[in-house]
Amino acid sequence: MKKLILAVFAALFTAAPATANPPLPEDIVFDVLRNGSEFGEHIVRFERDGDLLRARTEIELQVRIGPFTVFRYEHAADEAWQDNQLLSISARTFKDGEWSRFDYDRSQSDLLPVLDAYLPSTHWRAYDTATQAILNTETGEPLDVVITELGWETFETAGGPIEARRLRMVSDLTVDLWYDAQGNWVGCEFEARGQTVRYIRR
């Protein structure tokens, strides 16, 4: 009996540890300003589903004049990741008065090169400066980009100033993106239709 007990303890203490999932990213919530005025919000929420990481992006922007809505934009994207591999992505967009959508997953063999080659344009994962194209989540098509490292700088957030890494992405728009020391997305700014759009993280 004593030998059996010792064998059980030996097995317990020498067993290989279970692989733990990485920490769940913190939800991202931005207030979006247009020329300093309220424009809408951009939210990215995360959850674990077994060994999958699911990320849902929701963007709602609008401009009202009195009781009339003169501009409206909506976008939602759902991503499923496993071990840093994109398993599926679906997105729908309301832009210029029309809805569009796409659904990609790894069961569609012709889409494997797309899912393997391109990061989605949801921005919550910091881009490498060697990146030459990303997956445009409005269109479902690759988008050529040039990404430049602009270095570290003090960046204002709703919670106060922080040190953040600034990247510039040039494509059909020029977008500046900021990430903190842990790689979390903390800011965004770009020009569109002659307006300055700025993200302030809550």
Across the range 142-147, mean pLDDT stands at 98
Q: What is the CATH number of the domain that holds 73?
A: 2.40.360
Across the range 116-141, mean pLDDT stands at 97
- For residue 6, is pLDDT > 90? no
pLDDT, residue 20, reads 64
Assess if residue 81 is contained within a domain.
yes
Assess if residue 69 is contained within a domain.
yes
Q: How many domains does the chain have?
A: 1
The residue segments making up the domain with residue 93 are 25-201
Across the range 67-80, mean pLDDT stands at 97
Task: Look at 107 and 6; give whichever has higher pLDDT.
Answer: 107
Task: Look at 41 and 4; give whichever has higher pLDDT.
Answer: 41
pLDDT, residue 19, reads 53
- For residue 92, is pLDDT > 60? yes
- For residue 10, is pLDDT > 60? no
Q: Token digits for 199?
A: 């993200």
Assess if residue 4 is contained within a domain.
no
Q: Is the dihedral of CA 148, 154, 157, 159 positive or negative?
A: positive
- Percent of the chain surpassing pLDDT 70: 90
- For residue 150, is pLDDT > 70? yes
Q: What stretches of 68-145 adopt beta strand conformation (E)?
A: 68-82, 85-95, 98-105, 133-135, 142-144
The identity of residue 52, as a single letter, is L
- Using one digit for the tens of pLDDT, what is the confidence trace for 111-124? 999 999 999 999 99
Which of 7-16, 41-50, 143-152 is the least confident region? 7-16
Assess if residue 5 is contained within a domain.
no
Assess if residue 12 is contained within a domain.
no
Determine if the pTM surpasses 0.75.
Answer: yes
Task: Look at 133 and 157; give whichever has higher pLDDT.
Answer: 133
Dist. CA 139–CA 112, nearest whole Å: 17
Q: Token digits for 72?
A: 């409206």
CA of residue 153 relative to chain centroid, distance:
21
Closest to 125 in 3D by CA, of 182, 168, 42: 182
